[in-house]
Amino acid sequence: MERQPGWAIIGAGTIANEMATTFSEKGKRFLGIYNRTYEHAEAFALKYGAEIVYRSSADLCADPDVDIVYIATPHNTHYGYIKECLLAGKHVLAEKSITLNSAQLDELYGTAEGKGLILAEAQTIYHMPLFKQLWAMKDSGELGRVKVISANFGSFKQYDMNNRFFNMALGGGALLDIGVYALSAVRSFMDQDPSKVFSVMVPSPAGSDEMSAVALATDSGQVATVALSMHAKQPKRIMISFDKGYIEIPNYPKAENAYLTLTESGETKEIRAGRSSMAYAYETEDMEEAVMSGDPSLMKTELTKNVMHIMSSIREEWGLKYPEEEENGGIS
**Full pLDDT tens readout for the chain, 332 residues:** 667 999 999 999 999 999 999 999 999 999 999 999 999 999 999 999 999 999 999 999 999 999 999 999 999 999 999 999 999 999 999 999 999 999 999 999 999 999 999 999 999 999 999 999 999 999 999 999 999 999 999 999 999 999 999 999 999 999 999 999 999 999 999 999 999 999 999 999 999 999 999 999 999 999 999 999 999 999 999 999 999 999 999 999 999 999 999 999 999 999 999 999 999 999 999 999 999 999 999 999 999 999 999 999 999 999 999 998 887 766 76
* Residues sharing a CB contact under 8 Å with residue 113, sequence separation 6 or more, in sequence order: none
Fold annotation for 6-124: Rossmann fold (3.40.50)
Q: Please check whether residue 183 is in contact with residue 311, taking contact to mean a CB–CB distance below 8 angstroms.
A: yes
SS3 70: strand
Its pTM stands at 0.96
DSSP assignment letter at 12:
-
- Between CA 298 and CA 296 the distance in angstroms is 5
- Between CA 312 and CA 310 the distance in angstroms is 5
- Between CA 321 and CA 199 the distance in angstroms is 16
SS3 264: coil
DSSP conformation letters of 144-205: --EEEEEEEEEEE--S-TTSTTT-GGGT-SHIIIIIHHHHHHHHHTSSS--SEEEEEEEE-T
- Between CA 168 and CA 175 the distance in angstroms is 12
Q: Please check whether residue 244 is in contact with residue 172, taking contact to mean a CB–CB distance below 8 angstroms.
A: no
Cite the residue boundaries of each domain of the chain with CATH code 3.30.360.10: 126-281+308-328
Torsion of CA 287, 285, 180, 34, to 10 degrees: -70
CATH architecture of 126-281+308-328: 2-Layer Sandwich (3.30)
Radius of gyration of the chain (CA): 20
Cite the residue boundaries of each domain of the chain with CATH code 3.40.50.720: 6-124
Distance between terminal CA atoms of the chain?
35
Q: Please check whether residue 276 is in contact with residue 255, taking contact to mean a CB–CB distance below 8 angstroms.
A: yes
